[in-house]
Amino acid sequence: MKRVTMADVAQKANVSKSTVSQFLNQRYEFMGVKTKQRIEKAIEELGYQPNMIARSLKQKSSTTVGVIVANISHEFSTRIIQVIEHSLHQLNYHVIVCNAEDNPEKEKKYIDMLLAKQVDGLIIFPTSTNVNVYNELNVQDFPLVFIDRFVPEVEVPTIMLDNKQALCLAVKELDRAGYERVGILTNSTIFNVAPRVERIEGFKQACRKYGLPVDETFIRGVETGKMTEELRGIFQSHEPPEALVAGNDLVLMDILKYARDHHLRIPDDLAIIAVDDVSFSSIYNPAITTIAQPIEKMGEKASEILIEKILGNKNIEKDIIRFPAALVKRSSC
């Protein structure tokens, strides 16, 4: 079938091509209501689809944004992507989502691919090791925002949880409940991924603040696939922990599986607090006490900053913007 063109729409609506172009670009200032209606009807009847590539080359904008997630398995990632997509959709931007799986090489390939597709900007949950790539984007003044993780060598607006405040809430709750042998498990800290490092450090600081012992045996950054083995070692100790903080939702699931398989009663044998208020927390039995991130505010702020950068605002500070966490009390502690 012959491709329907803008000229076809103009002829059917009895207007000029430039008027159709103004309609497509939402420039309605000097356009009558009836003219708009005729163009809308012509587009619908002809099934016209604008050539987005040609428009982006002409306008130097693709109205498309790339989002590269470090690991889409985390519920935090999927939920904040929903917020970002909704926020940008309201501004007529499209979103392409890529999953780097915590692999720096895969992340770099996605950056290259998205740039080749001429996206207007990038929101990245950085794997943290592609420092040269991030800095090159900065040098080119390419619109870029980080979420969840900061990279010290790169000056980019970064949206993060206040991780130390979050862990202080968790430890305060454990102290209030009378637990003394406490610990935290998170994913590997080998690559100094900011949230993991900050949560462990925040946990230690809070333990000192509330007079709880800091037992390194119960404080671990664990490689993927080795969590069960690590838990086995921890609970074979002479005095195992009374309570654990799960550094994220995937760690929480590993702890819950271990507790089930080894007949540990929650909270009688083991109390649990999880960072991230995951969807199953309220329906699990017993319901899981969590530390909630303000996901909606974080996603909206990331979108807002990126759009400001795309529109050429040069006055955006390249700071880390931290959001406070909230304790959600339930039955696991």
How does pLDDT run across 231-267, given as a tens digit for each residue? Answer: 999 999 889 999 999 999 999 999 999 999 999 999 9
Cα–Cα distances in Å, from 255 out to 7, 251, 263, 268? 63, 6, 12, 15
Q: In what order do the strands lie in the sheet with 94-99?
A: 94-99, 64-69, 121-124, 144-147, 158-161, 320-323
Residues of the chain with pLDDT under 50: 53, 56-57
Task: Determine the pLDDT at residue 84.
Answer: 98
Among candidate residues 133, 137, 197, 129, the one with its CA nearest the CA of residue 167: 197
CB 328 within 8 A of CB 292: yes
Task: Determine the pLDDT at residue 1.
Answer: 54
- pTM over 0.85? The answer is no
The first and second tokens of residue 23, run together, are 């309609």
> pLDDT for 320-332, tens place per residue?
999 999 999 999 9
From CA 312, how far away is CA 307, in angstroms rounded? Answer: 9
> pLDDT for 11-59, tens place per residue?
999 999 989 988 887 788 888 999 999 999 999 898 887 765 455 445 5
Task: Determine the pLDDT at residue 59.
Answer: 55
Who's near 46: CB < 8 A, 6+ residues apart?
A: 4, 8, 9, 12
Map residue 245 onto helix, strand or coil.
strand
